[in-house]
């Protein structure tokens, strides 16, 4: 991400257009169709943690990270209020190293928040955070425009970024999930090779 101060400022000013205020339909799709079952899962760029809460409620071992203080504190409060457990970490995920790898990663709005010149670094993080044959539940933002954030995640560029030598791509499970006006996400399930 661009930096702690930029994202923290957006939260403090209420400029959080990426936050639906509820769980993403994408996550509900993955869980309801049994593609995503209880496991050790990472949510990078978790924000206010709507997905963290529902996964924790459903028996997942959740680790959530975000660079900004405000959403992390909000999430900790919500977890305590609901008497749920999840590990919540404030950090820049491009420099973070977990102690043990994950079975799954739910990637929704982190890649599109990072300038494209940092995408390769992020792909490398995702690859190393996962166990062999670990799964990446990816939602690639489609803006159809230049600039960002959010940055347009052209699918051909994503296929090149998440190369077949390192990732096995599933069929596309759903054409898209509406994110907000003029924006939608294409859903793919990727598996770490070896």
Residue range 62-83, pLDDT digits in tens: 999 998 898 899 999 999 999 9
Q: What per-residue confidence (pLDDT) applies to 101?
A: 97
Burial 137-169, CB ≥16 within 10 A → b, else e: bbbbbbbeeeeebbbbbeeeebeebbeeeebeb
What are the phi and psi torsion angles at 88 (to 5°)? Answer: -120, 125
Closest Cα partner for 101 from 29, 171, 194? 194
Domains belonging to the chain, first-starting first, are 4-192 (3.40.50.150)
Q: What per-residue confidence (pLDDT) applies to 157?
A: 96
Would the pTM count as exceeding 0.85?
yes
**Which regions in the chain score pLDDT beneath 50?**
1-2
Q: What per-residue confidence (pLDDT) applies to 184?
A: 86
Q: What per-residue confidence (pLDDT) applies to 6?
A: 75
């Amino acid at each position: 991400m661009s930096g702690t101060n930029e994202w923290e400022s957006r939260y403090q000013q209420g400029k959080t257009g990426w936050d639906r205020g509820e769980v993403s339909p994408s996550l509900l799709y993955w869980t309801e169709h049994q593609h995503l079952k209880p496991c050790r899962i990472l949510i990078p760029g978790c924000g206010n943690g709507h997905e963290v809460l529902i996964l924790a409620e459903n028996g997942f071992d959740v680790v959530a990270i975000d660079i900004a203080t405000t959403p992390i504190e909000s999430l900790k409060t919500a977890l305590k209020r609901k008497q749920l457990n999840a590990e919540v970490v404030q950090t820049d995920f491009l420099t973070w190293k977990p102690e043990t790898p994950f079975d799954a990663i739910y990637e929704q709005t982190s890649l599109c928040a990072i300038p494209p010149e940092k995408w390769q670094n992020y792909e490398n993080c995702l690859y190393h955070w996962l166990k062999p044959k670990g799964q990446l539940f990816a939602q690639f933002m489609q803006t159809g425009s230049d600039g960002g954030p959010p940055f347009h995640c052209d699918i051909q560029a994503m296929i090149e970024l998440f190369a077949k030598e390192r990732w096995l791509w599933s069929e596309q499970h759903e054409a898209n999930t509406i994110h907000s006006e003029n924006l939608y996400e294409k859903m793919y399930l990727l598996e770490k090779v070896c």
